[in-house]
Structure 1
Amino acid sequence: MKRSIATGILAALAAGAGLISGVMLVSGGKVPKETASRAVASAGTVAAQGKRKILYWWDPMVGPSSISPKPGISAMGMKLVPVYASQGRQSPGEVTISPAIAQDLAVETSPVRFGPLVKTVRTVGYFRQATPVSYAVSMRVSGWVGTLYATTRGTAIRKGDPLFTLYSPQLLAAEEELLASAQNSTLAARTHDPHSVAEARRLYQSIRRRLIFLGVSAAQLDHIVAQHKAREYLTFLSPVSGYLDRVSVRQKSFIKSGQTVMRIEQLSTVWLDAKVYDNQLPWVRLGEVIQARIAADPGRTFEGRIFFIDPNEDPRTHTVTVRARLGNPVGLLRPGMYALVNIASTPFKDILLAPASAIIHTGTGEVALVAKGKGRFVPRNVTTGLTGNNNKVQVLSGLKAGEEVVTSGQFLIDVESNMNELTAKFTARGRSPKPAAPDVKGAMPGMKMPPAAHQPTKAATPARSDLPSQPKSRD
């Protein structure tokens, strides 16, 4: 082998010398500097190629299955071409491409760095009544309903609006006591006795507070004292603003003390139940800001904060209810209304991030191509976590901060990398020791066959890959 290499080098140098001599003859014995330098460079290139080690021969159109340790013809009838050893030692799967090819492939890289992971979860939700703001109108005295003003469910009610009138003997007796104490206070004031005035005043205020506690408004009490006449039917007013939800009495019906007459739902604050899929749950946290948009006012955004995350998942939709509290001062948000929901979340403030476009999903894992410089690219198995906005993905393992990863053109490089790995495996298999041939004198191992008779036979000529493709002509 060494002799053949030396012979090739001498032949190349001789060719170079001959080329120089030919030029001298043509130019009258003078050799131009440029011609001489090109001739020497060409001779050096040939000599350098003669020194390079040939790893194997193959047909690139067929692929690794055509790899052969010696020259020959492929299955497609093409002459095998040699593959030389690389100048530098490459790791498995490493690819080296020239800058021109990298430009043609539109190869782009981006660094791996630490930073915040931001994500906006987009989903839908429905408004519902807030349970803590549901007000029950219950009676503290027994009596008969006179006129029922609030009768239709869903009626908008303001604070102070009349709900119904009630006749109650207990209230009527208390009114008489209030009028008597008011008259006593007037008489005590005429005596100019401070003790008598204070005692009469204290009794009057006590009866007045008792009537207010039973549900009579202060304005009605003032009117009774001013008219010096008790009223048989007293009007009960709405204590809050909202919408009438349920009425459990009728006109002229009797109600007992403690009975709920009607229920008023306050919509100054509503709940928004957003439906979040289980793969979005890692982004949702208590206290996160939630934004909602409705079709009734598309140009407006309503904001609230998450205060409840349902511990159970709906098996039909595979969603979890995330609840937020939103203000509704003008009553635009109604229970049952549909809303588009955005939840802006930043679960991690400073973690290792890589471009999501740099991750190649192979079906069984994830791979990223790391740029080593000078046109060298190495595939790296990586493990990723959450994917955020702005094409960023959390890196759990496989990459380090500061490394450059390929974000464009990586698929063609990955194909070449896989081809290099496959070629290396074929080459290694070709260099592995061959298994020992079976002993033809005896029976085959594991087969119940008698030994074959030893008869002289012609050895089968193995097919050679280096034979010429054209058959020899007969004489």
Structure 2
Amino acid sequence: MNSKYKNIIKIVGILVLGFLIGWLIFGGDNAARLVDDEHAHSEAGDNQIWTCSMHPQIRQNEPGDCPICGMDLIPLETTGAGDDLGSYEMSENAMKLANVQTMVVGQGDASREIRLNGKVQVDERNSYSQSTHIPGRIEQLSINFTGESVNRGQTLATVYSPELVTAQEELLQAASIRESQPELFEAAKQKLRNWKIGEAQIEQILSGGNALERFSIRADVNGIVTEKMVDLGDYVERGMPIYEISDLSKVWVLFDLYEGQLAGVKEGNEIEFTINSFPGETFEGTISFVDPLLNSQTRVATARVEVNNEEGRLKPGMFASGIVTNTSFGRPDIQELVIPKSAVLWTGKRSIVYVKAKDVENGGANFQLREITLGPSLGNSFIVEKGLEPGEEIVSNGAFTVDAAVQLSGRPSMMNPSLEEENSPNTLTVTVQEEAEKELTKVTNAYLSLKEALVKDDSQLAKVNATALEEVIKNVQTSTLDKDAKTVWDSYRKELGIAARNISSGEDISEMRNAFIGLSKTIIGLVKTFQLSNETMYVLHCPMANNDRGADWLSQSSEVENPYYGASMLRCGEVSETIN
């Protein structure tokens, strides 16, 4: 038995010794790794940046709520992080999920087709105002409607003219003494000639011995009557127009040119066009004139095409659609750098693209933000004047998705092109001019009036003040803000407007106070972001509000007057922050 127990003890001892050796070999390394991991996690926690998923411009070095929308801040995305702040790395899987596509930039002909719309118009050179050379009353109209064809010499109207009757009587009297006073007789005849009375009519008057009471107005040109300006019985003065007559054997087709098309359409360009009245038929012409003046109201110029219309098929007012082909927007005989519109992101003042800097081991890519200068638009593409070189690879599809990921990583992006690493842990601040500060201060003043109504437990006044706050928010003059400041204000405006609307539509003061929680968070963020505190302001905190989760509000006084409870717990709260 003793031998048996000895064997058992030996076996147990060997097992214990084996466990001890295994722990020393493997357990020590694991313990060391745990210590290292804890140390690394501690360091990561110390340097962790927190942001808002809806408003990535917010960056803080500790967790909390977004000052704009009140959402919980999340740890800043570290995917794509590296030592180079100017670049961002995406994995192959991330690029596939975001449908990110790239293309190599190349040179090509900067040409495209330009589609134009226009109308058939009368050739102004062949338009004539038929005027009367005889003053008097219209006794008869031979042409009674527009569109009627007339020939040169055709009688258009008959006029009774008392002045002309008197002149004829003077002629007859002068004819009786023309042997003794030929000069007087010649002067009387010339007076009639000045009224365009022909020699044949003058001889008719002399041979008849009586004055003619009615004279005819005859057409000076061939054409179509496009406007009738007198009616039967009207009195007309000498030189007054009575008809507008146009020769439509040649017409103009005037096409509208918008400002963006002026650079691509020039005199001499060939154009193919169709007329809506003749489906399936194509006309060809040459642009003979481009209007040097731009209409200040419509913001368009016109391109003129002269068309032979001997058959009279084209009628003024018909709509036309034309295409100018082989239109060059670049410099003559030079290949231009062209990129698709989908590759470009606009911020108002700047145009940017994402350039693929290099491939990475996991099949992904490293992208860099690049600001470029764009030339004319070519429909679905742009000429690049500056910022890219042939052979560089850019994001052609999914550029906005790449930029969103870059924003969340706290790196330079479309909205923050010059972001510095040392500024990334801080909440965004925007400096505005005095006029803009006054506009935004109107919002905070309206908020303070609403807060006072809640302090007084006055739900009716709170509803009125909340409605007034909505109007103030809508009427902020954004013309006083620059582009970047306006982008930030738009984020605040939306959140403030929703909160104010929720308060104004609240059924009782309890609902209004619940909505006031989010409004206060946003208004505090607004004051800090735009640095609106010319005078000292205070952020006060009530730990019992918001179902014991606590809530803040903004005040011009450090004295506690609680808007969440009013008179029931007026002094509940304390100053949590002073804004100087």
Greater relative CO, 1 or 2 (CA 8 Å, sep 6+): 1
TM-score in terms of structure 1 length: 0.49
More helix by share: 2
More strand by share: 1
